[in-house]
Every structure is written in structure tokens, then in C-alpha cells.
Amino acid sequence: MAARDCIFCRVAREEPPGQIIYRDDRVFVIRDIQPQAPVHLLILPLHHMASLAYVGPGQEQMMGHIFLVAEEMARREEVTVSGYRLVVNQGFDAGQTVDHTHVHLLGGEPLLPLGNNRS
Ligand code: 5GP
Ligand code: ZN
């Protein structure tokens, strides 16, 4: 999918405006439109990246930066002490629905253990 047609690239371009709660020169953060926890943020690269398969040496700093921004957002949302989960759904089996790589930050209540995947 071209960046022109990507939902998250449109959000990055402020189309429609007002969704972005954090932005710097590499990433931006929005609230998930269908939150699965009291705190459910998405942390995304500003530049369109369809898949982790495209992460190369040029993206190392940006990928690490996402984790720093995640912790900063967790602090702002007051979930650093209670805890939070970072999730990347990569590809079909993981249920990725938007082909612009993003990290989910979930918290604000106890989350189901990952072990539930096989129950
Ligand atoms: P995935 O399933 O690809 O890991 O996550 C995509 C997420 O994006 C879903 O949780 C979905 O609710 C969210 N989402 C889809 N479209 C929009 C949108 O236009 N705005 C926002 N804020 N979230 C969206
Ligand atoms: Zn995109």
C-alpha cells in the first residue's frame, strides 16, 4: 500500500486533525480508536513502514526510539508503576490490520496473561 492511501500516514499528515498526542522528528503517538484497555496508545514511525521486514540498519535508531517514547508516554499516562504492555502485531497470524508498523501500549488495568493464546 502506498503511503498516500495509508490510514496512519493520513493521521500523521493531520488528516483529520487532532489525533496526535505526541510527535517528534521520528515518531508520533495516537490513542487507539477502539481501545482494548483504559490506556491504549499507538506509537508509530512518521515515515510509512509496512512491515518489520523492512527494518534495516537505517531504522535501528528509530526502532529504539519507539521504546523511549513508549516509556515517556507511560509516564504521562501514569502507568509506569502499575505496568503496561507493548505489542506489535506483525503480519496475518498476529492479526495486523493496518500495514504501517506500530507499537500498541496497553495499561491502566491488569491485562490477560499472554498464556491465554493457547487456552
Ligand atoms: P493492528 O491490528 O494492525 O495491530 O492495530 C491496528 C489498530 O489501529 C487497531 O487497534 C485499531 O483499532 C486502530 N485503528 C484503526 N484505524 C484507526 C484510526 O483511524 N485512528 C486510530 N486512532 N486508530 C485506528
Ligand atoms: Zn503509512
Q: Determine, yes or no, domain membership for 116.
A: no
Q: Determine, yes or no, domain membership for 80.
A: yes
Q: Determine, yes or no, domain membership for 69.
A: yes
Q: For the chain, list the strands marked E by DSSP.
A: 20-23, 27-31, 39-45, 84-87, 103-107
Starting from the CA of residue 98, give the closest ligand: 1
Report the pLDDT averaged over residues 5-17.
Answer: 94
Which pTM does this prediction carry? 0.95
CATH of the domain at 52: 3.30.428.10
- Distance between CA atoms of residues 117 and 119, nearest Å: 6
Query: In the chain, how many domains are there?
Result: 1
Q: Determine, yes or no, domain membership for 48.
A: yes
Starting from the CA of residue 8, give the closest ligand: 2
- List the catalytic residue out of 40, 48, 100, 102: 102
Question: Quick check: is 102 catalytic?
Answer: yes
Per-residue pLDDT tens over the stretch 26-79: 999 999 999 999 999 999 999 999 999 989 998 999 999 999 999 999 999 999
116 pLDDT above the threshold of 80: no
